[in-house]
Amino acid sequence: MAKLLNRDELKQKRDKYIVPGVKQMYKDAPHFVRGKGQYLYDETGREYLDMFAGIVTVSVGHCHPKVTQRTQEQLNTLQHTSTIFMTQPMVDLAEKLAEIAPGAISKSFITNSGTEANEAAIRFARLATGRHEVIALEHSYHGESHLASTLTANYNWRPKTMPAAGVAYAANAYCYRCPFKKTPDSCSLECAKDVERVIQTQTSGQPAVMIAEPIQGVGGAITPPQEYFGAVKKILEKYGALFIADEVQTGVGRTGRDWFGISSWGVTPDLITMAKGLANGLPIGACLMTPEIAEHSTKQQINTFGGNPVSSATGLAVLETIQEERLMENADVQGNYIMSALKEMQKDFPDLIGDVRGKGLMLGVELADKHKTPLVEQCANIVEMSKDDGVIIGKGGLFGNTLRIKPPMTITRDNADTMLKVLKKSLEATSKRMTANV
């Protein structure tokens, strides 16, 4: 075992050897050495309540005993062969994914990450339609590769390099900052209609596919109106285009009622992409589709690590654990509880909390004043203060002013109360500081 470094030693070594773009969320970052359930421990033994789950990934809690045992068993039995050889865990996982997937979706291409799953989904959609153009939503995040970063319509995550060709962007279904200046009372679903405008003005009129996150994750838990995806799907069908639900964050039950976030909108996509929570932190991704779409991909496809026995066995163990421990129900119950408490808190801090949104344990708190000015510095400070008080909360959004609460789906009511107490304390300190600065 390597000598355990303290956080300063580790920071120095990290700065020396890791590329600078791989940034830390904190100014004063803890050095995490251990995780158990919904808790993380730093090198001094200090405990932190993890309300961000390693960016929405540790779905069943850190080092879940059953999942870890299945990973270890597989690791000790057979670790790797690649997809050109026949092994069972990948096929067992694909069978389970077909069981939980909506509609006719029953074929999987297993990958190592969400980026790869999205790359694959676009390729499958292009092959199936014989078309090229893709529509994505503003504020989206779809990954790091050339194409996935082009699909990502958030300048924070776009490299200063030539983007991929053939991607058009529709206005976002962002009710709090409605691009059409509507309010929930006057909403006429202009955001959904914008998809048709984009097809007519920015494509040949024959796009291959649209990709969207049911709830935008990195974008800050932006949650479209209830009629949105139904209306969008109809427009896509009118133009013969397919629909990919990017469930990399919303998948595996996080939104609390169904395995997939898109089901809350009553829509069945043509393809689904998954990653993150599927294997609780082991590298995995999956692109799910109907057999009709799959059959257009006739050339040999290979993925050296994708579908490897260890990640696949772990993924299956995670899905079984979510069912056995009724974690979707827990995400619903705890999520509703936190959501109500945050809405109450919004009344106490009207000049700090602009919007509370999301579903299940996929929640966002957008910090903005009464004029909707994004409170960027305050958001960073609240995240830092909460960590100092032992609670890990994420942040995101185009402006970096949205708190992201997306814990393991195993959290308890006590955990929710601890997080709410710590958050309230940080909000009070921030509010006092803002008043003193006026």
Ligand X SMILES: Cc1ncc(COP(=O)(O)O)c(C=O)c1O
Q: Interface with ligand X by CB under 6 A: which residues?
A: 55, 113-115, 118, 141-144, 213, 217-218, 246, 248-249, 275
* Minimum gap (Å) between residue 212 Cβ and ligand X: 9
* Minimum gap (Å) between residue 117 Cβ and ligand X: 7
Q: Which is nearer to ligand X, 272 or 275 (CB)?
A: 275
Q: Amino acid letter at 43?
A: E
Q: For the chain, what's the residue count?
A: 438
Which of helix, strand or coil describes residue 175? helix
Which of helix, strand or coil describes residue 64? coil
Q: Which is nearer to ligand X, 55 or 100 (CB)?
A: 55
* Minimum gap (Å) between residue 114 Cβ and ligand X: 2
Alpha-carbon distances of 171 from 65, 190, 362, 372, rounded to whole Å: 44, 9, 22, 19
- 288, 272 contact by CB (below 8 A): yes
* Minimum gap (Å) between residue 401 Cβ and ligand X: 18
| Angle subtended at Cα 148 by Cα 110 and Cα 287, rounded to the nearest 5 degrees | 20
Q: Which is nearer to ligand X, 114 or 306 (CB)?
A: 114
Rg of the chain, C-alpha, whole Å: 21
Query: Which of 110-125 are b and which e, b meaning 16 or more Cβ less than 10 Å from the residue's Cβ?
Result: bbbbbbbbbbbbbbbb
Residue nearest to ligand X as judged by C-beta position: 114
Residue 368 tokens read as: 């903005």
Q: Which is nearer to ligand X, 213 or 353 (CB)?
A: 213
* Minimum gap (Å) between residue 332 Cβ and ligand X: 21
Q: Which is nearer to ligand X, 288 or 427 (CB)?
A: 288
* Minimum gap (Å) between residue 169 Cβ and ligand X: 16
Helix (H) or strand (E) holding 243: strand 242-246
Q: Which is nearer to ligand X, 118 or 415 (CB)?
A: 118
